[in-house]
Each structure stands twice: as structure tokens, then as C-alpha cells.
Amino acid sequence: MRRKYVGRFIFRVAVFLAVGALAVFDPEAFGVMEPGGFFSRFSLLHVLWVIWIGDMVLKLFPVPGTLALGAAKQLGPFYVPAKSPPGKEEIRAYFADQNRRALQVFGAWTVLGAAIAFLWGQGFLGNQGLLLIAVFFYVCDLFCVLFWCPFRSWFLKNRCCTTCRIFNWDHLMMVTPLVCINSFYCRSLVVGAVFVLAVWEYRVFHDSERFFEGTNEALKCKNCTDLLCGKRMGSRVGKENRRKTDEGSGEFFRQ
């Protein structure tokens, strides 16, 4: 899985460079971000729109072997009940702490979004700048997964991406700069990202046992199927689970 995500990271860097090149050599391509611009002419930015919408759909309907457990754990097939779960008080304390930390992340990101909106409103950033920032966040998302995550280090204090409380917040964070623009291109991406977030949060509260390694055996380090951290560790069972996941069978998650 880590190799797949490295490939996706390289692809996202290429997308960022391509959008930057468009801003220099074909600024009219950004007309799709204007009201009515989406349906007036074709631009390479339509391709980017399709990619982002497709990513959001995959977050709701993940394909075995293509999406990290950190995102897929919200779904029933990826839940393996723990044999010896902690008591209700410990579970309640865990989620109270994680929800508090998630609110801190939301507050910090809201401040950043407000700063971007202020710069746009004052004319320091145009529509091109907003999209470039969004694509930059698109790259940073996988940088956080593969290399270093400030949200994990400064706020959440979780072990890794597999146990991340806000894993599926990525699209809303990514499209935050586009909130400023009232057009189909931007509004559709924002609405899609909000829907992905709403589904995630609903499942956090409705199916909370899926999100805690104390209650979901699949999230434990010894059963890791992703190795996004880059560490070759885990039990024999975990290695067998990784083999099954790489083959796309997903049998471990349906046991």
C-alpha cells in the first residue's frame, strides 16, 4: 500500500506542476472556475475536477486493495471485533479526547481558511491562486500520510494514519480555498467534500467501535495491512492479512 501511495504522491506533484504551468501559459483555462464557465468550454481543469470527484466517491465506496484502512475503517467489512475490548468508560474517554483534538484541528484549519479568504477578498489572491493553493493542499495530504503529519504531531497524538480520527477530512481541507468562489466548479467540489465529511462523522458517532483499535482488531499494529508508516513489523497474522489485501481478496475484513 505504501508503494501505491508513493505513486499517488508523485502523481499529485505532477498535477500541481501542470496546474502551475496552466496558470502561466493558459490562464484562460481557469475560466471554468467562473460562474457559468464550467459548461462554456473544455479545460484540463475539467480532468482535475473528475479526478477529485472520483476520489470522493472512492472514499464512500472503497475498492479492496486500493484505499488505506485509515479511510476504509468506517465501513462494516473492515471491522473486526476485538476479543477483549476495554470497558465503556475507557472507550468513552478515548472518543471524548479524540473529538476534542479533532475540534482543535477544525479550529486551526478554519483560521487558515479565513486568512486565505481575506487575502482573496483584498485582491492579493485571484482564482488561479486559490486553485493552486487547493492543489498544493492536495499534495500536502499525501505528504502527511507518507512523511510527516503536523496534525498527528501537534493535535491528535495518534499512532499512525490507520487510527487517525480525521482521515477523511482531507477533501474538505483540500477544497477550503474554493469556498470563496460561487461557481459550479467550486461549489460542486465543496458540496462533495462536505458530504464525504458528513458521512464520516455520522459513522464516527453511530459506529464508533470501528474507529478505535481497542474495539477494532483490524486497526492494531500487528494486523496492519498498509505499512504506510514504512515499518516492516507485525505478526504472522498481520503479514498474511497484508498478502490477502495486496491480492485484492479482502478476506480478512470479511471474517
> pLDDT (tens digit, 9 = 90+) per residue, 8-61?
999 999 999 999 999 999 999 999 999 999 999 899 999 999 999 999 999 888
Q: 174 Cβ partners below 8 Å, 6+ apart? A: 52, 134, 137, 138, 141, 193
Cα–Cα distance for residue pair 236/242, rounded to 1 Å: 10
Asked if residues 131 and 45 have their Cβ atoms less than 8 Å apart, the reply is yes
What the block records as the C-alpha cell of 83 is 476479543
Sign of CA dihedral 123, 44, 199, 146: negative
202 pLDDT exceeds 50? yes
Lowest mean pLDDT among 49-53, 127-131, 231-235: 231-235
With cell 486565505, the residue in question is 116
- Span 154-199, pLDDT tens digits: 999 999 999 999 999 999 999 999 999 999 999 999 999 999 999 9
Lowest mean pLDDT among 59-63, 86-90, 100-104, 134-138: 59-63
204 pLDDT exceeds 70? yes
Residue 222 DSSP label = G
Cα–Cα distance for residue pair 231/235, rounded to 1 Å: 13
User: In Å, what is the CA distance from 48 to each residue of 15, 52, 54, 64, 137?
Assistant: 8, 6, 10, 24, 14
The reported pTM is 0.89
Residue 216 DSSP label = B
CB neighbours (10 Å) of residue 194?
14
